[in-house]
Each structure stands twice: as structure tokens, then as C-alpha cells.
A and B are shown apart, each in its own frame.
Chain A
Amino acid sequence: MPTYQEIKTTADERWQRLTAGERPWIRVGTAMCGHAAGAYEVIDALKAELEKRDINAVIDEVGCLGICYAEPLVDILKPSGSRLFFHNLTPEDVPEIIESYLVEDTVPETKVLGYMGDDPIDGVGDMNDIAGINRQLRIALRNAGNIAPNDIYQYISQGGYAGINKALTEMQPDEVIKEVTDSGLRGRGGAAFPTGVKWSFMVRSTGPKYILCNCEEGDPGAYNDKGILESDPHTLLEGLMIAGYATGSSNGIVFIRHGHDGPIDRTQEAINQAYDLGLLGENILGTDFSYDIEVALTGDSYVAGEETALMEAIEGKRAQPRFRPPFPAAFGVWGKPSTINNVKSLSYTPEIISNGAEWFSSIGVNRSTGTAILCLNGNITYPGLYEVPMGLTLGEVVNDIGGGVPNGKELKLLQTGGPLGGVLSSESMDIHLDFDEMRSAGAILGSGGIIVGDEDVCAVDLTRILVAFCQYESCGKCFPCRLGMEHLLEITERIARCESRPGDLDLMRSVGGTMETTSLCGHGQLGFGPIRSAITHFEADFISHIEEGKCPTGSCLGPKHVPKNTRPFATEFVPGGQNG
């Protein structure tokens, strides 16, 4: 079994060959943003062109640099130089780029975005001048877009697995927990519970224990967990190992939603590579620590991301939440003590262990340390996956990084924290990315989704979409959530049709209150939140429907974008068993 140092030496040599060897290194963004934009067609074109011209180059599929709007994003690193980035490439662009940059050694005319590196390239701007690059502070996503997720050596060459090596060789488990606690890291799944404290609940129990990593990520408009797994799965594995070592667990389970093939495949491949190098399995890196990681898949269910429903799903049952107590730390998956952490939370820990709690806690603001990993989309000029320090204002995010609302429209609202989050008006631009400040503003940072709505968005229409989603995704177990969502949708639908009845808004508040106080899990407890904030901030939209019988923007009258089925892989189903 090689030591960490031996592995690292190999990794460094390989990195050296990649970056300063004979061959150019071409990296293509193939996270789902790139994939959707046509990255694989571009790769095919690149391969064909290189073959045609008999050019020996390395092509790697890498993750997402954050500026999704520029995908397919391709960069070429020639031996001893800087990376030259091309944006929004199509297969048709490829011959010209290869011809010009690799054959003729001149910077092409079109689709050049900028250079990245110490050596400027003539006539090309610095990538760092782009707000979407320079306002980012990437910790969990530090390698995303830079390394190939399917090459463990590239990860190690960038300092990967140094954190777990340090923990195993220099720290006791309780010191690891203390380090994570002192860093102020709070859970990025939405609840913002201190991660180190959560881990400490596990220490008391003995016997088999599990660390579960939640990548259900069923929020529409959220892709940061998947982004990490697609771009740099090893950082998650390392985080899982650190959590396992700290809590005395024997197993880690990465729980990914069925259908997210990219993250699933890349995570599984990363696990296989880690086993091959002795970074997983028995006596990791020659220490007493043994640890196994596997991928578990769920069916398409939003509630499967709820921690107890997730455990049910891992056990092979229908993903419905359990009641608490008993809490997972005492009675988790298979009845064994378990801790559930979000992908993002775990992915910070290798850097926290490597660089220390103080380094991490110096980033951010108040009790929100470190960075926020944002999925910025909707009516925004530069949608993307941005990791920024906590404490930025929403205005900085939307206007500086996102480039504001396009097409000269006015900003109307932000929907943050996923469908269980909240709705904020355009007057909220001074609110800081801070768990507590966001919560007191009636929204949550949640898992980091920010959907921007312009002046054409009607708050009633948005509400209808949110309620329809929550209704459809209610697991059906507890009465208030299943029935409350159903009737909330019924009321919202009739308001949207301008057929509301007197007292409908009060009725919504009443049933919403029942749901909040009585529901079994967060889905029902939080599901009314965004509706409440929509009614609060955009009462005028509702009043217009109710009293004037008209939709202020007309969007309620247009084609309905209500999700009937948020599960692309589910078959159409007819109630009453007429399928058979």
C-alpha cells in the first residue's frame, strides 16, 4: 500500500506532464451546464479535428467553472503558458480554433473569452476581469473546471486527500470535530445547523454508524450539489472520510437522485479509484482507519431529500419521513446511528482540516462563515454556479455577478432557498448572504438557489407554480401537508383564474398555519413560507386578481407552466388502476 507521500509524488509528476509537457491540454466543461449546451458534440468535433490534423493533444472533460452562461466552455493550455478560454462553442467553431491556435499559433478571432494564468496572452482579456470569476471565492468548488473529475491524481496534485491524511496522522477524532465546530461551518442543506455539533452527537454511540451524504437535490433551480459531484467528486469523498473518522463511522453512503447520471457516474468512478489507491477500504493509508463508501439511488421524490425519508429510501422503502424522536444520531439508517450531511457541507471539510478553522471562520460574516454556493438563474443576464463569500449583498450577487435583469426589464422579485424558501421583493437588495439575516427577512438561503423574476412575473403565477410543486411532491404521509397543499393549490388556482371567493387569502393563511404547526416534516412545515412571503411582498398582485379580476402582468392568463409532473422519468399514471 503506497503512502500518501508516494501517491502525491506520482500525482505531481503526472500534473507536471499535463501542464508542462509536450502536448497541449484541452479542457471542456461537461457539467450539466456544458452538457446541455452541447459540450459532447464539441468534444466529438475536437477529436475529429485533432485526428484529422494529426495533433497529439490531451482532452479532458472537466466540471463547471461557474460561468454556466458561457458554456460550452473550452480552454486550451499549450505547454508553458496560460489557459485560453473559448465560450459558447459549437462544433462548427472547432476547426477554426484548432487551425488558428494549435496550427498557426495565433489567437482566433471569435469566441475567445480570456486567458487564465500568470502569462498574459496578447490581445486577450484576463478571465479575472469577469465578475463571475473574480467575485468568486472557491473552496468547495476550488477544482471545478480545472481538473478532470475522473482522474484522482489530478485531485491529489491540487492538494487532494491531504486533509484526510492530516486528520488520520496528526489529529484525534475529537480534534477533527473541534476544528470543524470552530470553523463555524453550518449545514448547507437548508437548516444551517452547525456541522461539528451534529457530528458530536454521533460520538456517544458505539457499533456500526453511518455518514449519509444527501445529494437528492430535487429543488427546481438547484444544481450546486450535483455541480460538486460532477466537477470534483473526490472533495466530497474526502469530506465523507473526514466525517467518518471524526464520528467513528464505518460507512459512508452518497445518496443521489435517480436520473442524475452525470453525478452518479462520476461519484462511482471516483469511489472506484479511491479504492484502487487504498484511500478507501481497510487500513486507509496504512492507518487503523477503515472506511467504505457506496452510492445509493432514490426514486424521483423531492421528499426523499428529507433526512429521515432519505434513510427509509436507502433501506429500500418508500421515501416517507419518520417521526422524531428518535433522532438519526441515535436511530438512523437500518436503526443504526447516522448523520446526514449535505454535499456542500462535507466538501468544505478537507480545506478546513488542511487550512485550519481560523482560516475558514475568517471568511464570511457573523455566524455565517465560509462561502455560499449559489445557483443563480431565472431572468438574469449571467446565470451560473457561483461560490462567493458569505456577506455579499443580494444586490452584488444579482447585479455585479449576474449582470442584472436582461432586456431592459425591471427586477421584480427573488425566489430564494428553493420551493420551501421565500420570495423577496426588489427592495431586498441590501440583504446580506447570511443565514440568519435571510431568515429574518422571511426568506432563506437554503441550499443556495436564487431565481430572479423580472417585471413580467406575476406573484400569483409564481405562487401557483410553487404550490403545485409542493403539492405534487408531498409524499402523502401526513395529513396536513398532503391535504393542505392540495387545498392551497385549489385556492391559488382560482385566484389565478380571477374566480376567487371572499376570504380566500385568510383561508390560505389559516390552512398554511395548520400546516406549519402540525406537519410531520419540513416539507409541510416550510411549504407555506414562500406563499406567505409572496402574499406579504406582493399583496397588490393578489388584490388585482381578487378585486379587479385581472392579472397585472398577464402571465396568469398565458399558457400554464404548472408542473404536472416534476419527475421526468415517472410514467404517466392514471388514478384508479387503469394502467394495467
Chain B
Amino acid sequence: MSITLSINANQIDAPEGSSVLDVVNISGTYISQLCKDPDMKAIGACRTCLVQIEGVRGYPASCSTPASDGMKIWTDTPELDSIRRGVVELTLSMVGENVQDGPSDFQELSVAANHYNIDKSRWEPRERETVDDSNPVFNIAMDSCILCGRCAQACQDGHQFIGAIDFLGAGQSSRIGTFMDKPLLESVCTTCGSCLASCPTGAIDVKFAPAQEIKTVTTTCPYCGVGCGIKAKVDAKDQIIEIEDDPDNLSSVGMLCVKGRFGFSFVNHEDRIKSPLIRKDGELTPVSWEEAMEYVADNLIKYRGDAFGTLASAKATNEDGYIQQKFARLIMQSNHIDHCTRLCHSPSVEAMLTALGSGATSNSYVDYEEAGCLVVVGSDATSNHPVAASRMRRAVVERGAKLIVINPRRIDMCDYADIWLRPRPGTDVALLNAMAKVILDEGLADTSFVDDRTEGFDEWREVVEKYTLEYAEGITGVRANDIANAARMYAQPPFSGSCLIWGMGVTQHTMGTANAHGLLNLAFVSGQLGKPGSGISPLRGQNNVQGCGDAGCVPNSFPGYQVLSDDTISKFENAWSNQPLPREHGLVITDMVTAMDDGRIKSMYVVGENPLLSEPDLTHAEAAFKKLDFLVVQDIFLHETAQIADVVLPATTFAEKDGTFTNSERRVQRVRKVIEPVGDSRPDWGIIGELGRRISDKLGLELKHEFDYSHPSEIFDELSGLTPIMGGITYDRLEQEGGIQWPCPTSDHPGTRYLYESDFPRGPKAKFVAFDQGPAADEVPTERFPLILNTGRILYHWHGGTITRRASNLMARSPELELAINAEDAQKYGIDDGDWVRVRSRRGDMEARALFSDKQAPGELFVPFAKLQEHAANYLTNPALDPTSRIPEYKVCAVRVDKLVNGEVVSDGRRRRVRV
């Protein structure tokens, strides 16, 4: 619907729901609008967008006046001009003496002043507050601030829901500042930069002004699985100088986090591998692409079949992944292909495949915003999926949704929670079963959903029957009443539905698959699935971990989760030049490490992964990799795994290639080439394609044409042609419509916001799968290793840190590995806040800075698994596996902690006797 109104006697059409200011802007008429950010709600503070409207008294502010059909609006009468000049002139007095010579570059304020020909303010400038330069990335310079309030709005309700900055003081001492007037760095600021992006005068700006951009490319963020839209600005030297948010992106709706906005300098980092390297005389030596390709092809040929394994990259594009699995299966005749999901969400995927028949998030971020209750389990979304977390906070703050946090750590989301359940690590099954029993006992179950759409209910019910609240309280340490209230809230939210959102805290346990089933069972019994505002969401960690699996980089299925079967094997054999394909399921990554160790796998092709940082018990993993006959690593940096490789191939980053990523909500989004490849690097699809062609030639396979692509769009067309869930997605549609959520089977299908409305991929019924609580963890604290170490991520570093360690802005914010320790424990072991400590497990040790934190319960430590200053948590972690999904138990291992002075241990790490 559109409305028609007149601006200065010109007829203008505008969408219904527009403000008068929107219509003025559509008309192309200039009007100053100092406090109105184009992408945010009106504030109504600057009072310079005033207009006159026929039949309306006075001079309403156009930003806050709804437009209606037939309105007659004037923007430039003499009275308006005089009034507006008065306000702009007053505003100029805010920015100090520069104005006396005509306003210099105060950005939008200068534009307004110039437009209205105001070169001087009659008012005395006043002394302003000092610059807050505490944040290493940007400054808040109050002498250029006009107090429009945009930054506070961006930081708070309505946008990021962080609340680090706001107006302080009143009258002429009004200013932008933090709680208790502390420096920004000491506030809850997450350096997301939304304030900076919305500042109209440049008062909040990066420390060093970036160079002039010559082009801007819209693409997709390379960090977590949220899939935010970014706009990369490039200078004349073909370097990325700035990243902006993309308000049109359907997943991020104009938000970014610190990594997305400021973590881009790794792309041009000097550590980038710029040419292929071959190990000669023990040293990795630069060679030509020709030499490297020949060398790799000649060697890989020797290991065709089960002796070959490959790891795909969840950071690379769908197209890269598709080509890699095609190469592994068709050329190398091996199904040993896997990717990092094994180390994060494989239990979720396994459980979902068993219970539902598909391993994806069922709903969308917009469902979080519409839900009546959100349950966030084992996920520190604020750190790991910041923009998704903002959308959760929006649900809580703006719509009054209930929030239940289940986490042994007191994560930041607890600040917004109605209920926080703090189970002992590894006791989730008991907790979830007890919640289910409450739902059953109190008649809160959705019986029609259970009857019509599930199976296995009775068997499951028998198992959960014994999880009384008292029994569960004994196991989990969570008060019975809290468990019951959480169950009630989830099963019957105050409005709309309930969403279950979970992360690694659920999966990275020996009970990982059981935990995931426990969550799915909760969703089934309360029918919180297959309707708006409900659903199940394993939050994906890597930008394209969803797409990597979708593209078939898993050992047991072809693209689109078409499980290896006679039918699907023939389908792909037919599609791929009628060559035979391997028929047995391949090995998962953790089992591949074992197979390397016992000599079954002799050659590995590792693309965009760093297993020697991400595997548990790194010492053991390193030994296994060193046994390989031939190791090829293809990546952007010479990381731990690359350093022991026989050949290293330089790949491009997301910024140097075209393709698609698929995010956590199944949205396929375009990745666009921003800059030319750095050095001699090439895109993954190009390198693998070339290898395919060479090996085909060498073996006389006549498969060269199967690897001959001129652009990723051709690969995508082949992928979508063979993958029914993506059959309707094309680059053309992505260009026109933005991201599209699969399933999208046909070209006229709009994509799917939520799954399972009427049935499930496995059939008409979902399946209850019962599990009992097993041992909480493989390893329990002992006198020698008395503490439990929990690993995870922090906001400023991403996974192993290979990338973020090379992003200067992020390093500035977080340069050291920080071990969070409860003050009570610290006192026991003689550790002070800020001490440098050594943490040891049965497998290895690491060093870190101890910081007191009450986020963990006494007896528990937390450390991010990023590698900083050569220290990494995975030297300590336990390779004990979940039997079903083969995920290692990253979340629990027994450790001791010792204070270090000058690099020497000064305590015995044992509990001291405390005299009472």
C-alpha cells in the first residue's frame, strides 16, 4: 500500500507507515536531520527536521510525525527557515571555536550548516569534556559531540540492547558516558561499533581515520554462523579500510559485532601465505603453482581410496565445499571427508537426524523475536553469536518474552533472564528429563502433537518417569522449584511459542548426543516446533558450518544430506560422468586421527582447518599427523598444522572470492569478491579444481570436464541441481532477493522460515529417544587435579584465534589468554587477581593470566580455547568421545592451577589447609 502526499506542492508516493521525514527524503528535498539515523527509530531531539503541515498547528518535527495520505507539507517557508537556522546555529555552538571560521568537517552538522548558509554561531563555545580514548579501537570526543543521542540509542533498547553508554548529567553538563562515569573500556561496552556507525559528526570515530574509499562491496561476514551482512570499503591500494553494517541484510538487520566490524585486518596481514610451499630438505620453500600442483597430484595419486582423508573448511564457501567432496569421492575414491562440525555440533546433528531426519536449525532469528519464551542452553550467545544475542534481548526487552538460561557459567544473558538454572557440568540429561517429567505430570504436554506427530513416546516416558524433581536436584544441584518453573515457562509461554537455543555446552560432552535428544524431546512433548515463534536452534559457530555440511563435506552423505545409499550413489554416479563412487561411509575427523595413528590413513588434504589447535589432546593429535606420509594443507596462514605439512597451498580469504555462505538459520547468502587475491593465493574451488583436472589426466579418468568451472556460480548451479533442498536458489535470485532460506525446492518458492510445519524429513512422525543420565564427565576432579576446566570462546577471539590473533583491533582489546577463576578458589591456591598461572591436566599444560570472575561456580575454571602467546587450552582437554557423534569432551577436564613467578611454579597446586 502506498500513500500520496505533497512536499512543497510536489506529489510524492510513499509506502504506508512512512514518517513525514521519510517522505521528504524520498522526494529528494534536503532537510537537516541530525538525530535521526536512517536505520533506527526517531528520537525527536534535534528539532531541525521541522516542517509545516496544512491543518496542523505549529512546526512539527517530521521524523516523529506519521505521514498520511493527502498531507500537504512544506519544508522551506521563511518562518521554517528562520526557526531551523536558530536551532542549527545553537547546535554549532556545541562544536567549539572552529565554527568561527565556518564549520569544518563535522560531517552531517557541517552539511546542514552549509546548506542553510550559517558560517558562524553567535554563541560562545563552552568548555567540553575530555576525550575518552580508553577503547583501543575508537574514541569518544565530546568536543565534536552534539548530543543527538544516536549512539546511546544504537547501544541500547531498540538496537543492540547493550547499554554501555547513555546521556549523563543534565543541562549543560549533559554528555555521553558510561555507568558511574568510568572510561568506556571499563564499561560493559563490547566495541561493536554501532555507536560509531550512527554518529553524525564524527565525535565517535576510529583512532586513525581510514583512507578514502574507492568502492564498497556488499558481502557476508566471515566470523560466526549468524551470517551478518557487511559492506566492505576498499581504498585505492585494494585494501579493506572499513566495514559497515548492512541494514538490508535479513539476518543481521543492520547490526554487527566487534569482530565483524573491526576484525578485518587479517585479510591483508603480512603473515598471509603468498605462494605455494613445498618441504625441501625439511624446510617449507616457496615454489611456483605449477610445481606445487604437479607435486601434490603426483603424490595424492598414491593414496587413492581409504588411505586418503580430507578435512573441508567451514570457513570456505558452499562452492568450495562442494568441489572438495566431489574431488574426494570422485577422484580420490574416498568418503573420508569431514569438517569441524564434528568438534561442535555433531551431537546436535546426530540427534536431529535420528529424531527428525534433518540436522539443521528449524527456525529463524525472527522467531526468537516473536517467541514468548527463549531457553538458551549451554550457549554464551553474547560472546559467540553477538547479533543473535541482540535479537534475543530485543525479544525480552521489547516484547516481554521470558528468558531461561541453562548454563553452569553466569553468562551475560543471565542479566536478562527470568530463570537461570546452574546445573553441575555434565548433568544436563537429568535436568532436561526432570523438566520433561514436570511437563507430563502437570498436564502441560501438547498431547495432540505427541499423538499425531511423534513416536516412541511411551518408551521415553518410562525412562523420564524416575527423574523426579528431588532426584534431579540431587544430581544437578539445581533447586527443584526452579526446574519446575522453567519447565512450566517453556511448555506454556505467556504468548506465542518457545524457542530452544543451544551451543557447545550441550554438545561437547561424552553425553553430547543424549543432551541434544533431551532438548528435542522437550520440544516434542510441548509441541514447540513447526510454528512461528518456536523451534530448535543449535547456534552454529562458523560462518559456513551449515553450508559445509549442506554441500556434502560429511563422511556419510552427499550434498543436501542425501545419505549414502544405492539410490543416491547411482544418482551422483550418473551426474558425475558415470564413474563409480565409494560406497562405504567414511571416517569422522576424530576417528581419522586414530586411523592416522594406526597407519590406515596415510595422506591428508586439510583445507582451511587447523586440527593441531582444535583437536583435543593436541600432543596426541600432533603425533598422529606426523605419522602421515603426505600432508597437504591449504590455508591463509602458516598455522600449527601447516607448519608440519609437506605442501602448503595459499588460499584466499572470504574477501577475495565469490561464492555463498549458509548461516545458522539456513539462509544462503552471497559472498562477493572485495579485493584481488593477496599475493599468489587462489580460491579453494580453483585449487581443488585444478588438482582434480591434473589427477584425472594423470590417471586417464576423463573427468577433467567435471572440474572445469569458470565461476563459482557454475558450481552452485551444479550443487543446486543435485540438491533438492536448494533446487530453487540461483545467484540471480540471491542478487535480487538477498539471502534465501532452504528448503527452497523450486524457483518460485520463497524459502522457508521454519521447518516441520506438517511433517519431518524422516516421515510424518518425529521420534522420542530416551537417555538416562550417565557419569557427568569422563574425568572427575582428584586431589592432584582438583578443578574442572571449562573451555569456550570470548567475544574478541574466534575459535583457535588463528585469524583474530592477526586482527589488530581485536588483539588490542584482548591480547592475553585469560583464565577465569573464582576468587574462592584463587584464595585456596594462593593466586591473586592478574597473576600469571600455569594450568595442568593429565595431558599437557598452558599458561594464562588469572582473572577473578564470579561467572564460574567455585571449583570450575574457564578459559577460551584460542591460542594466544603460544598457549592453548587444547593441550589440556580430554579426547574422551561421545559414543554416538564422536565429539570430544571439551567442556570438562580435571586440572590444577599454579601461580607462576618468573616462569616458575611457586605453589604445589594442592588445596591448602585453611585454619579456621
Cβ contacts B41-57/A at 8 Å (1 or 0 each)? 01111111010000000
B171 touches A514 (CB 8 A): no
Report the nearest B residue to A317, measured CB to CB. Answer: B157
Residue A510 CB within 8 A of the other chain: yes
B169 touches A519 (CB 8 A): no
Least distance between A308 CB and chain B CB atoms (Å) = 10
A573 touches B91 (CB 8 A): no
A72-80, A103-111, A433-441, A481-489 - interface stretch: A481-489
Cβ contacts A443-484/B at 8 Å (1 or 0 each)? 000000000000000000000000000011111111110111
Cβ contacts A303-330/B at 8 Å (1 or 0 each)? 1000000000000011010110100000
Interface bin, chain B: 35 or more
- Chain A residue numbers with a CB within 8 Å of B64 are 323, 325
Complex Cα distance, B59 from A514, in Å, reads 11
Using a Cβ–Cβ cut-off of 8 Å, how many residues does chain A contribute to the interface with B?
A: 41
Least distance between A444 CB and chain B CB atoms (Å) = 19
Report the nearest B residue to A510, measured CB to CB. Answer: B86
Residue A502 CB within 8 A of the other chain: no
- Chain B residue numbers with a CB within 8 Å of A489 are 172
- Chain A residue numbers with a CB within 8 Å of B166 are 318
Residue B734 CB within 8 A of the other chain: no
Complex Cα distance, B90 from A490, in Å, reads 13
B167 touches A511 (CB 8 A): no
B50 touches A518 (CB 8 A): yes
A301 touches B170 (CB 8 A): yes
List residues 144-176 of chain B with CB under 8 A from any CB of chain A. Answer: 146-147, 149, 157, 166-167, 169-175
Report the nearest A residue to B152, measured CB to CB. Answer: A318
Known: A323-B61, A517-B58, A520-B44. A482 touches B174 (CB 8 A): yes
- Chain B residue numbers with a CB within 8 Å of A575 are 129, 169, 173, 175
B175 touches A480 (CB 8 A): no
- Chain A residue numbers with a CB within 8 Å of B147 are 476, 479, 482
Least distance between B258 CB and chain A CB atoms (Å) = 22
Least distance between B48 CB and chain A CB atoms (Å) = 7
Q: Could you count the A-B residue pairs with CB atoms below 8 Å apart for me: how many are there?
A: 124
Known: A320-B167, A479-B48, A507-B122. A514 touches B87 (CB 8 A): yes
- Chain A residue numbers with a CB within 8 Å of B170 are 301, 303, 472-476
A577 touches B132 (CB 8 A): yes
Residue B126 CB within 8 A of the other chain: yes
Residue A568 CB within 8 A of the other chain: no
Residue B552 CB within 8 A of the other chain: no
Known: A514-B87, A579-B181, A580-B182. A476 touches B129 (CB 8 A): no
Known: A482-B174, A483-B94, A575-B175. A476 touches B169 (CB 8 A): yes
Of the candidates B42, B87, B126, B130, the one whose C-beta lies within 8 Å of that of A479 is: B87
- Chain A residue numbers with a CB within 8 Å of B157 are 317
A483 touches B93 (CB 8 A): yes
Report the nearest A residue to B66, measured CB to CB. Answer: A325
B123 touches A520 (CB 8 A): no
B45 touches A520 (CB 8 A): yes
Taking each of A323, A484, A489, A519, which has the highest tally of chain B beta carbons within 10 Å of its own beta carbon?
Answer: A323
- Chain A residue numbers with a CB within 8 Å of B44 are 322-323, 478, 520
Taking each of B90, B123, B129, B182, which has the highest tally of chain A beta carbons within 10 Å of its own beta carbon?
Answer: B90
A480 touches B181 (CB 8 A): no
- Chain A residue numbers with a CB within 8 Å of B90 are 479-480, 483-484, 487, 511, 514
Residue A576 CB within 8 A of the other chain: yes
Of the candidates A318, A473, A576, the one whose C-beta lies within 8 Å of that of B130 is: A576
Least distance between A456 CB and chain B CB atoms (Å) = 28
- Chain A residue numbers with a CB within 8 Å of B59 are 517-518
- Chain A residue numbers with a CB within 8 Å of B149 are 477
- Chain B residue numbers with a CB within 8 Å of A318 are 166-167
- Chain A residue numbers with a CB within 8 Å of B46 are 478-479
B146 touches A577 (CB 8 A): no
B169 touches A483 (CB 8 A): no
A477 touches B87 (CB 8 A): no
B146 touches A479 (CB 8 A): yes
Complex Cα distance, B177 from A514, in Å, reads 28
- Chain A residue numbers with a CB within 8 Å of B87 are 479-480, 514, 518
Complex Cα distance, B158 from A322, in Å, reads 14
Least distance between B62 CB and chain A CB atoms (Å) = 11
- Chain B residue numbers with a CB within 8 Å of A479 are 34, 45-48, 87, 90-91, 146-147
Residue B124 CB within 8 A of the other chain: yes
Of the candidates B66, B83, B122, B129, the one whose C-beta lies within 8 Å of that of A577 is: B129
Least distance between B233 CB and chain A CB atoms (Å) = 31
A472 touches B171 (CB 8 A): yes
Residue B493 CB within 8 A of the other chain: no
B180 touches A580 (CB 8 A): yes
Complex Cα distance, B172 from A490, in Å, reads 11
- Chain A residue numbers with a CB within 8 Å of B175 are 575
Residue B477 CB within 8 A of the other chain: no
- Chain B residue numbers with a CB within 8 Å of A480 are 47, 86-87, 90
Least distance between A323 CB and chain B CB atoms (Å) = 4
Of the candidates A303, A323, A473, A576, the one whose C-beta lies within 8 Å of that of B42 is: A323
Residue B247 CB within 8 A of the other chain: no
Cβ contacts A557-580/B at 8 Å (1 or 0 each)? 000000000000000010111011
B129 touches A486 (CB 8 A): no
Cβ contacts A479-518/B at 8 Å (1 or 0 each)? 1101111110110000000000000000100110110011
- Chain B residue numbers with a CB within 8 Å of A519 are 47
List residues 24-39 of chain B with CB under 8 A from any CB of chain A. Answer: 34
Of the candidates A478, A518, A580, the one whose C-beta lies within 8 Å of that of B83 is: A518
Residue B183 CB within 8 A of the other chain: yes
A576 touches B172 (CB 8 A): no
B45 touches A478 (CB 8 A): yes
Least distance between A328 CB and chain B CB atoms (Å) = 15
- Chain B residue numbers with a CB within 8 Å of A476 are 147, 167, 169-171, 174
Least distance between A575 CB and chain B CB atoms (Å) = 5
Report the nearest A residue to B59, measured CB to CB. Answer: A517
Least distance between B778 CB and chain A CB atoms (Å) = 45
Least distance between B203 CB and chain A CB atoms (Å) = 14
Cβ contacts B180-214/A at 8 Å (1 or 0 each)? 11110010000000000000000000000000000
Cβ contacts B95-126/A at 8 Å (1 or 0 each)? 00000000000000000000000000011101
- Chain A residue numbers with a CB within 8 Å of B94 are 483
B47 touches A511 (CB 8 A): no
Known: A517-B58, A576-B130. A473 touches B171 (CB 8 A): yes
Complex Cα distance, B123 from A514, in Å, reads 14
Report the nearest B residue to A518, measured CB to CB. Answer: B47
Complex Cα distance, B169 from A579, in Å, reads 13
Least distance between A484 CB and chain B CB atoms (Å) = 6
A482 touches B171 (CB 8 A): yes
B93 touches A487 (CB 8 A): yes
List residues 808-828 of chain B with CB under 8 A from any CB of chain A. Answer: none
A577 touches B171 (CB 8 A): no
A577 touches B47 (CB 8 A): no
A477 touches B181 (CB 8 A): no
Known: A473-B171, A477-B149, A514-B83. A520 touches B177 (CB 8 A): no
Least distance between B634 CB and chain A CB atoms (Å) = 49
**Could you list 8 examples of A-B contacts with CB < 8 Å?**
A325-B65, A325-B66, A471-B171, A477-B45, A487-B123, A511-B90, A575-B169, A575-B175
Apart from A471-B172, A518-B50: 6 A-B pairs, beta carbons within 8 A: A318-B166, A473-B171, A474-B174, A478-B45, A487-B124, A517-B59
Minimum-distance CB pairs A-B, first 10: A476-B174, A323-B44, A514-B86, A323-B64, A483-B90, A576-B130, A576-B129, A518-B47, A486-B172, A472-B171
Which B residues have a C-beta under 8 Å from some C-beta of A?
34, 42-48, 50, 58-59, 61, 64-66, 83, 86-87, 90-91, 93-94, 122-124, 126, 129-130, 132, 142, 146-147, 149, 157, 166-167, 169-175, 177, 180-183, 186
Which A residues have a C-beta under 8 Å from some C-beta of B?
301, 303, 317-318, 320, 322-323, 325, 471-480, 482-487, 489-490, 507, 510-511, 513-514, 517-520, 573, 575-577, 579-580
